[in-house]
């Protein structure tokens, strides 16, 4: 089997890509298991084990223009990474798919989409004002994105301090706990938004499906429910990221992440196929 250093679906230059994959290998603030900086390349490697045909959506992705722009330079401080990502996204014409990295990278990846609704799948609220003395800690990501002006909906949450839950309720942030999650209910909760940016923290899934994450939390979601939700709103999704994968030795989690990227692109493509 051929394995290369780019995502297996990549078949064109970044400039002509309809869907553009890029990595942000940053994990400076992870508080339990570090290593998500290795995820972009591990997910690319895992993608070569997957077929380009989506049985779920009946889409042959080898016929779609998909590019891989490589990784954002993550030298220096977080502000520099944000600026590099903004500059990169300013030149992107296709649909961007970011691979983290810790969840902090979503603040950079959403910089082009501040008028969209930020829909995040996450085991944690990530609504702390600061953590470990850092306002851009991974535990503060959704708070910073909300403060940037984006509306927010959180699905799959099952961990966080009481103050975060209160902040969500006082500020009109919609959320569903993992045990309350239903695809149809979640789709209905975001039906009023014509532009949606989707962020998938892979710890939203139960550790049985995704053992290789920075902060695993029991009682999580099933990956197929995320894909069904994504398909239900795909025509309105303007950008997507997958974060917090810490590659595991059995390649389970990075393979799941690669499969989700493949199926998310297929769901978007399916929207454009005449009925």
Binding site for Mn(2+), by residue number, is: 103, 122, 124, 126, 201, 203
Other beta carbons within 10 Å of 65: 16
CB burial of residue 12 (10 Å; 0-12, 13-18, 19+): middle
- Distance from C-alpha of 49 to C-alpha of 211, rounded to nearest angstrom: 19
- 42 token code pair: 């591990």
Counting every residue written for the chain, the total comes to 275
Annotated binding site: 103, 122, 124, 126, 201, 203
Per-position DSSP letters for 112-149, written without gaps between them:
T-TTSEEEEE-SB----S-BTTBTTSGGGHHHHHHHTT
Pick from 139, 110, 136: which is nearest to 123 by CA? Answer: 139
């Amino acid at each position: 089997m051929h394995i290369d250093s780019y995502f297996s679906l990549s078949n064109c230059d970044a400039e002509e890509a309809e869907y553009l994959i890029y990595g942000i290998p940053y994990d400076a603030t992870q508080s339990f298991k570090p290593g998500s900086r290795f995820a972009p390349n591990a997910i690319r490697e895992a993608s070569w084990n997957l077929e380009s045909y989506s049985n779920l959506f009946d889409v042959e992705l080898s016929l779609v223009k998909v590019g891989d722009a490589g990784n954002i330079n993550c030298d220096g401080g977080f502000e520099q990474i944000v600026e590099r990502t903004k500059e990169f996204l300013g030149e992107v014409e296709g649909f961007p798919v970011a691979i983290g990295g810790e969840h902090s990278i979503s603040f950079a990846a959403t910089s082009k989409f501040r008028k969209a609704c930020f829909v995040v799948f996450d085991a944690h609220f990530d609504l702390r004002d600061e953590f470990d003395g850092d306002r851009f800690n991974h535990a503060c990501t959704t708070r910073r994105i909300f403060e940037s002006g984006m509306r927010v909906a959180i699905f799959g949450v099952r961990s966080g301090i009481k103050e975060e839950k209160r902040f969500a309720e006082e500020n009109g942030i919609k959320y569903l706990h993992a045990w309350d999650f239903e695809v149809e209910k979640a789709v209905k909760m975001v039906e009023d938004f014509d532009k949606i940016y989707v962020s998938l923290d892979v710890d939203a899934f139960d550790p049985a499906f995704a053992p290789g994450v920075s902060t695993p939390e029991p009682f999580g979601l099933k990956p197929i429910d995320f894909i069904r939700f994504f398909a239900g709103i795909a025509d309105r999704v303007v950008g997507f990221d997958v974060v917090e994968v810490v590659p595991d030795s059995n390649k389970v989690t990075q393979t799941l992440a690669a499969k989700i990227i493949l199926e998310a692109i297929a769901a978007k493509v399916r929207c454009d196929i005449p009925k």
